Amino acid sequence: MSTQHEYSFFDAVLANFDKAAKFTNWDPGILEQIKLCNSVYRMHFPVKIGDKIEVIKAYRVQHSHHKTPCKGGIRFATTVNLDEVMALAALMTYKCAIVNVPFGGAKGGISIDPKKYTPYELEKITRRYTHELIKKNFIGPGTDVPAPDYGTGEREMSWILDTYTSMKPGEIDALGCVTGKPITQGGVRGRREATGLGVFYGLKEICSMPDLMEKAGLTVGVEGKRVIVQGLGNVGYHAAKFFREGGAKVIALAEYEGAIFNTNGLNEEEVRQHRKKEGTILNFPGATNITNTAEALELDCDILIPAALENVINGENAPRIKARIVGEAANGPLTPDADEIFIQKGILVVPDMYLNAGGVTVSYFEWLKNLSHVRYGRMEKRFTENQNRNILSQMEELTGKSVGDKEKEIIMHGPNEADLVYSGLEETMIGATREIVDTWKSNPDIPDLRTAAYVVAINKVGTSYEELGIFP
Ligand code: GLU
């Protein structure tokens, strides 16, 4: 899979798993079954690009079937390889277990540079990939449900949906074959910002814990924290947005062409507009340029959020990191070497497999919406508002006092879809944070939050196997 000198992402996941397995009591056979990938599908297919035929290499890995359907995104990037897809599929299993989303983990990838193709060519590639998945029963609302990941978004999910529904006419739950769709195609409000919002909710909960903050040498709360975000894609953009709105200062933003820095804080939307117009993040008014983008990770800050790709903080640069908290919005941004160094330095690492679980959590809400064929809030919004109006007018009548118009509006408001998705996500992230932190505190030998998160995940998946038994 990889030579000794190359970094293997899947080996890193296995190493983290083994580190945590020591703190559990499962039969070695169960542990082996949990950590390996159940089904691996590597495919080649031809696509006509211009007047040439290109052979495209792609993958779908189903890591675990302890719960079905399997779930996980599809990545379009030249860096996609089998090792990476296997690692990401495994992380999906643990992620889903931690946030109590009843799916097994999966991941897909197409080894292409999406920037090199026209939208029409990308559509052809996506449709052909979906077709390959259908042929091998690797997609379907009850078997395996893809979603966006690095290099894909709502547009690609629509193409997947359309290919699936054309091949499966009359399948009543077909909308649930993919998540991360546009709202007009069965998507759910809040999915686009879900991962970044989940990162914010998770770190906000961590920042509200006085003992953890004292250890990190920080004050309690998000307000005033100096944050650096690496990657201004969907996840990084929304993480930056929610931190800024929550009162933190985003002092640096990094992209692959460079980074910018301003101690007074940056507005992610203005930076995005600037990048769109100028073709680079550099030269943003009022900010200092950092031409070597990797150096942005090493600036002094309270919270560092890597939100792009894996392996960006490793044994080489970890000793120079000055952040007090590292929140992994990307999958696998830290290598096991970096973890060891951060334990020594007392830097708190908030691990990917739960911190970025907001995406799959809201994907779960979208899938439920698709299976129930009704928008969240549609049945109860008006009813709740009428009920609140009645209670309010009774109160006014009994007290002889009247409530102001603005307050009335707030009290009467019945939940719409976005309200319910946001509150479901917040509840999920808070619950998961507390469970992992409690597990960490329950055993002084557990070295870090990542190991605690793995312990939580292994115990949940192990319980599934134990209760279901081994077939036949
Ligand atoms: N690709 C995202 C992840 O890594 C989302 C997966 C999903 O929604 O199924 O978590």
Q: Which CB contacts under 8 angstroms, 24+ apart, belong to 164-173?
A: 164/130, 164/134, 164/139, 164/140, 167/131, 167/134, 168/134, 168/140, 171/141, 173/141, 173/142, 173/370, 173/371
Supply the residue whose CA is at minimum distance from atom 7 of ligand 1: 360
Q: Best of 363, 369, 421, 425 to mutate for ligand 1, by most ligand atoms within 8 A of CB?
A: 363
- Encoded amino acid at 295, one letter: E
Query: Hey, which of 9, 76, 149, 328 would you mutate to test ligand 1's pocket, going by the most ligand atoms within 8 Å of its Cβ?
Result: 149
Burial class (CB in 10 A: 0-12, 13-18, 19+), 158: buried
| Residue 470: predicted pLDDT | 87
How far does the centroid of ligand 1 lie from the alpha carbon of residue 255, in Å? Answer: 21
| pLDDT tens sequence across 222-232 | 999 999 999 99
Q: Indicate which residue's Cα is closest to atom 8 of ligand 1.
A: 360
pLDDT over 70 (residue 5): no
Q: What is the mean pLDDT of the chain?
A: 97
Fold classification of 40-185 (topology level): Rossmann fold (3.40.50)
pLDDT reading at 3 higher than 70: no
Order of strands, sheet of 288-290, starting from the edge strand that comes earlier in the sequence: 288-290, 258-261, 249-255, 226-230, 303-306, 325-327, 348-350
CA of 359 to the centre of ligand 1 (A): 5
Task: Indicate which residue of 107, 204, 381, 460 is catalytic.
Answer: 107
Q: How far is the CA of 345 from the centre of ligand 1 (A)?
A: 31
Choosing among 3.40.309.10, 3.40.50.720, 3.40.50.1000, 3.30.750.24, the CATH entry for 194-355 is: 3.40.50.720
Indicate the domain borders of the chain: 40-185, 194-355
Residue 358 CA to ligand 1 centre (angstroms): 8
d(C-alpha 161, C-alpha 169), whole Å: 12
Virtual CA dihedral for 293, 298, 299, 302, nearest 10 degrees? 120
Per-residue pLDDT reduced to its tens digit, 127-180: 999 999 999 999 999 999 999 999 999 999 999 999 999 999 999 999 999 999
Which range, of 6-10, 32-36, 166-170, 455-459, averages the lowest pLDDT? 6-10
Cα separation values, 259 from 250, 266, 296, 310, 395, Å: 12, 12, 6, 18, 56
Distance (angstroms) between ligand 1 centre and the Cα of 157 equals: 12
Q: Which residue has the tokens 């196997």?
A: 465
Is 460 annotated in the active site? Answer: no
Q: What are phi and psi of 468, to 5 degrees?
A: -80, -25
Atom from ligand 1 closest to the CA of residue 88: 4
Alpha helices in 136-217 (DSSP H): 154-167, 194-207, 210-216
Same fold, 40-185 and 194-355: yes
Neighbours of 462 (CB within 10 A): 21
Mean pLDDT of the region 398-425 = 97
Most ligand 1 atoms within 8 A of CB, residue of 145, 160, 195 to mutate: 195
Q: Assign 4 a pLDDT band (cuts: 50, 70, 90).
A: very low
- Provide, for the chain, the percentages of residues in helix, strand and coil under a 3-state DSSP scheme, each rounded to the nearest 5: 50, 15, 35
- The ligand 1 site (C-beta within 6 Å) comprises 71-73, 147, 149, 179, 331, 356, 359-360, 363
- In this structure, the dihedral spanned by the alpha carbons of residues 439, 442, 443 and 448, taken in order and rounded to 10 degrees, is 40
Q: Model confidence at 68, in pLDDT bands (50, 70, 90)?
A: very high
Res. 472 pLDDT band, cuts 50 70 90? confident
Say which residues have a Cβ less than 8 Å from residue 151's Cβ, sequence separation at least 6.
Answer: 75, 76, 77, 114
Over 90: is that where the pLDDT of 183 sits? yes
CA distance 37 to 59: 13
Report which ligand 1 atom has the smallest distance to the Cα of 149: 1
